[in-house]
């Protein structure tokens, strides 16, 4: 497989939803992750522009990841999960990495309220918060 390119982090359209579900169904042994992505999309933790796909050179979507809202103590943050690549032979090709990099770059540019902080320090001048991580309800934890 050739080089993988990441699509725009603002790709989110209804037309991409079936392909994203298929990527997650193909990447994991059970439908739990695909169901999680669908549940997160319907949840208030979903943030438009932070769901990213990666495509092969033909433009076929082969990778997906997303960032959703969570909290560390009372501090807003973002959670990266799941990361999926469609087929085992495409895993290790850079599709997942391309999607993750694009999502993190989008998060750095995302209009985050002053009181919010990303778990991965996107702003080295701000200390990481302390406390229990509370994920979006669809994670079930």
**pLDDT, tens digit, for every residue of 56-90?**
878 788 889 889 889 989 888 888 888 898 876 66
Higher pLDDT, 79 or 31: 31
C-alpha torsion 1→67→20→137, nearest 10: 140
- pLDDT at residue 117, rounded to an integer: 53
Task: Indicate the SS3 state at residue 103.
Answer: helix
pLDDT at res. 42: 92
Three-state DSSP class for residue 95? helix
Separation of alpha carbons 103 and 95, rounded Å: 12
> Is the overall model pTM greater than 0.95, yes or no?
no
Specify burial of residue 34 (Cβ count, 10 A radius: 0-12, 13-18, 19+). buried
Q: How many residues does the chain have?
A: 141
CB 64 within 8 A of CB 96: no
């Amino acid at each position: 497989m050739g080089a993988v390119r990441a699509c725009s982090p603002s790709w989110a359209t209804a037309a991409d939803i079936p392909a994203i579900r298929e990527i997650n169904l193909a990447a994991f042994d059970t439908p739990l992750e695909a169901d999680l992505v669908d549940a997160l999309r319907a949840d208030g933790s979903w943030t438009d522009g932070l769901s990213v796909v990666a495509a092969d050179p033909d433009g076929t979507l082969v990778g997906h990841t997303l960032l959703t809202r969570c909290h560390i103590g009372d501090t807003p943050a973002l959670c990266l999960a799941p990361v999926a690549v469609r087929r085992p032979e495409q895993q290790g090709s850079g599709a997942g990495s391309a999607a993750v990099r694009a999502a993190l770059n989008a998060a750095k540019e995302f209009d985050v309220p002053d009181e919010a902080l990303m778990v991965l320090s996107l702003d080295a001048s701000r200390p990481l918060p302390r406390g229990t991580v509370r994920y979006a309800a669809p994670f079930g934890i």
